[in-house]
């Protein structure tokens, strides 16, 4: 770990020595073991050791970004110098004020697990082998693909304002996609589990769930075109909600390319909807003590009783708007620039179960999964229900096929008439189901 911070600091110094007015550098290294399953058989194992450095340098606000897949002294220095040179070629940006000052980040526990870090490849292989076995026990003719990944790594962040931070982490995930064929009919489904700690990880049952669910999607049919109440299951709900939260990106708003422009402090959703960012949950999948620029993270409501409480800021957008930095800077690894993103999101629960919400519908559409995400500028939604069911007389009638939803983000959020009390949970992340009334469904006649 020490060499990561040293490399970052060397690069920052090199950038400043080359004429930058501000600079920061991010270094990371990861060892990732992946086991692949294909055609209901183990197929491959790979081990990837990836490491590198990314440097941002600023000159009169113009930004230069340079990266390299190395942590060697000379490469770190060259990277810093290259970033500084690029910053001088960029146009001045009077909205750039500076990089954040150092601040003590909070403690976030259980993001690194010695048990995971020391796990043998054979254990990862065994999870996959068991997945194949449990899937075949349910459907001997199943076609199963997927696999498991185990990652152990660390990162360091240094800046010309004196930030010097480092962290390490572990993560593990398993995912399976099951495919069943009956004559010309096909049923498919996927399932996954992910964790930062071995104790939170439950690989057993993931392949079985994918296989059992694939059975339910045999015999898909088209739905008639009409307005219907729809129920978004947790996966579909997270797709919609997390995408809308992403559109609260202050840079998109400031650049006039978000449909949430002018909506800060206003109601954008039913008062039943509250979404809280919980970055400090021990062992959370997206937990973090500080953001991509080293600013301490805090728990905060992003949508409270339907009101968009804040835009998501990094240091640049906060300074430009003259508001407090909300610590939402994100980094896409050492090769990426600094953008805006969130940590774990948790959606407040309602009082009745998903089954109760469905039982109240004479006719409706249940969306297990689909690309229900608004177009960022217009907020328009036009999406296929990739996995879903027609609801008739309060229960699932049949799986749907070539069925679409046409709406916009504010209509969908505003028409939420119930949030379920049961939910899907990944470490740190909680998403219930949503019932939304009066949504245009497109299908057949």
Partner 1 sequence: MERLMERIIQAALDQGADFADLRITDAAATAISVEDGRADRISSARTRGAGLRVLVDGAWGFAPTNQPDEAEMLRCVGDAIEMARSAAPYVTDPGMVAEIEPAHGEVGKPPRIRPDSVSLQDRVRRVFELERAARSSAAEKIANTTASYADGSGEMFLANSFGTFLRYEGTGTSIGVQVVATDGETRQRAVQRRANRTGYELVADLDIEALGKETAEKAVNLLTAERAPAGTFDVIIDQRICGLLVHEAFGHNSEADAVWIGDSILAGKLGEKVAAETITIVDDATLPGLNGSFEYDHEGVPAQRHVIVENGILKEYLHSLETAARFGVKPGGSARAQGHQDQPIVRMSNTAIEPGETSLEDMMAEMDEGLYLTGGYWGYVFTGQGQFTCNVEHAYAIEKGKLGTHYRNVCISGLTLETLQKVTAVGNDQEFELGGTCGKGGQGMPVDAGGPHLRISQVVVGGQSGG
Identified binder of partner 1 from the candidate list 335, 356, 397, 417, rule CB under 8 A: 335
Check binding of 131 to partner 1 (CB under 8 A): no
> Do the beta carbons of residue 345 and residue 276 sit within 8 Å?
yes
Which helix (H) or strand (E) segment holds residue 251: the answer is helix 250-254
Looking at the Cβ atoms of 118 and 226, the one nearer to partner 1 is 226
Distance CA 40, CA 146 (A): 9
Stretch that binds partner 1, among 11-19, 125-133, 205-213, 414-422 (CB under 8 A): 125-133
- By CB under 8 A, tell whether 227 contacts partner 1: yes
Q: Using CA atoms, how far apart are residues 271 and 410, in angstroms rounded to an integer? A: 13
336-339 own/partner pairs: CB under 8 Å, 24+ apart:
336/54, 337/56, 337/65, 338/56, 338/292, 338/293, 338/314, 339/249, 339/251, 339/292, 339/314
From candidates 103, 115, 121, 137, binder to partner 1 by CB under 8 A: 121
Residue range at the interface with partner 1 (CB under 8 A); choices 7-15, 45-53, 347-355, 424-432? 45-53
Measured distance CA(158)–CA(25) in Å, rounded: 5
The residue from 103, 199, 355, 377 that contacts partner 1 (CB under 8 A) is 377
Exactly one of 62, 98, 296, 394 binds partner 1 (CB under 8 A); that residue is 62
**CB burial string 94-119: b at 16+ within 10 A, e below:** eebeebbeeeebeebebbbbeebbeb
Bridge partners (DSSP) of residue 365 are: 230, 390
Q: Which of 295, 171, 292, 286 is nearest to 238 (CA)?
A: 286
Of residues 404, 417, 424, 437, which one binds partner 1 by CB under 8 A? Answer: 404
Identify the residue among 1, 17, 19, 44 touching partner 1 (CB under 8 A): 44
- Is 161 a binding residue for partner 1 by CB under 8 A? The answer is no
| Nearest-angstrom CA–CA distance, 340 and 260 | 15
Tell me which stretch binds partner 1 (CB under 8 A): 20-28, 200-208, 359-367, 372-380.
Answer: 372-380
Three-state secondary structure of 379-399 = CEEEEEEEEEEEEECCEEEEE
Q: What track of x and - describes contact with partner 1 for positions 201 through 220 (by CB under 8 A)? A: -------------------x
Which of 296, 339, 371, 394 lies at the binding interface for partner 1 (CB under 8 A)?
A: 371
Site string for partner 1, 240-279 (x = CB under 8 A): ---------------xxxxx-x------------------
82 or 297: whose CB is closer to partner 1? 82
């Amino acid at each position: 770990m020490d060499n990561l911070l040293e490399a970052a600091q060397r690069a920052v110094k090199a950038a400043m020595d080359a004429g930058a007015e501000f600079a920061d550098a991010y270094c990371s290294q990861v060892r990732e073991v992946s086991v692949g399953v294909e055609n209901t058989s183990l197929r491959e194992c790979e081990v990837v050791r990836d490491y590198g450095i990314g440097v941002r340098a600023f000159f009169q606000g113009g930004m230069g970004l340079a990266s390299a897949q190395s942590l060697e002294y000379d490469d770190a220095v060259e990277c810093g110098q290259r970033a500084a040179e690029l910053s001088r070629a960029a146009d001045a940006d009077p909205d750039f004020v500076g990089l954040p000052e150092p601040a003590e980040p909070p403690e976030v526990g259980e993001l690194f697990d010695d048990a995971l870090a020391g796990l043998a490849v054979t254990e990862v292989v065994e999870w996959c082998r068991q997945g194949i076995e449990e899937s075949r026990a349910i459907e001997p003719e199943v076609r199963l693909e997927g696999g498991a990944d185990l990652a152990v790594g660390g990162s360091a962040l240094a800046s010309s304002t004196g930030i010097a931070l480092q962290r390490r982490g572990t993560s593990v995930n398993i995912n399976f996609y099951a495919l069943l064929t009956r004559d010309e009919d096909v049923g498919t489904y996927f399932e996954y589990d992910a964790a930062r700690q071995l104790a939170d990880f439950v690989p057993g049952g993931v392949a079985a769930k994918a296989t059992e669910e694939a059975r339910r999607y045999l015999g898909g049919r088209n739905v008639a075109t009409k307005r219907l109440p729809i129920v978004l299951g947790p996966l579909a709900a997270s797709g919609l909600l997390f995408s809308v939260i992403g559109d609260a990106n202050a840079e998109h708003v400031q650049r006039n390319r978000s449909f949430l422009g002018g909506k800060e402090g206003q109601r954008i959703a039913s008062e039943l909807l509250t979404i809280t960012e919980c970055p400090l949950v021990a062992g959370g999948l997206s937990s973090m003590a500080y953001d991509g620029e080293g600013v301490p993270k805090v728990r905060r409501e992003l949508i409270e009783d339907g009101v968009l409480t804040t835009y998501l800021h990094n240091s640049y957008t906060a300074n430009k708007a003259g508001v407090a930095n909300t610590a939402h800077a994100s980094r896409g690894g050492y090769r990426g620039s600094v953008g805006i993103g969130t940590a774990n999101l948790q959606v407040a629960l309602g009082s009745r179960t998903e089954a109760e919400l469905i039982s109240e519908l004479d006719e409706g559409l249940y969306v297990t999964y689909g690309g229900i995400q608004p177009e960022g500028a217009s907020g328009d939604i036009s999406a296929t229900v990739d996995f879903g069911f027609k609801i008739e007389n309060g229960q699932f009638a049949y799986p749907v096929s070539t069925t679409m939803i046409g709406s916009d983000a504010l209509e969908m959020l505003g028409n939420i008439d119930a949030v379920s009390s049961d939910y899907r949970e990944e470490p740190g992340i909680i998403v219930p189901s949503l019932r939304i009334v009066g949504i245009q469904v497109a299908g057949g006649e």
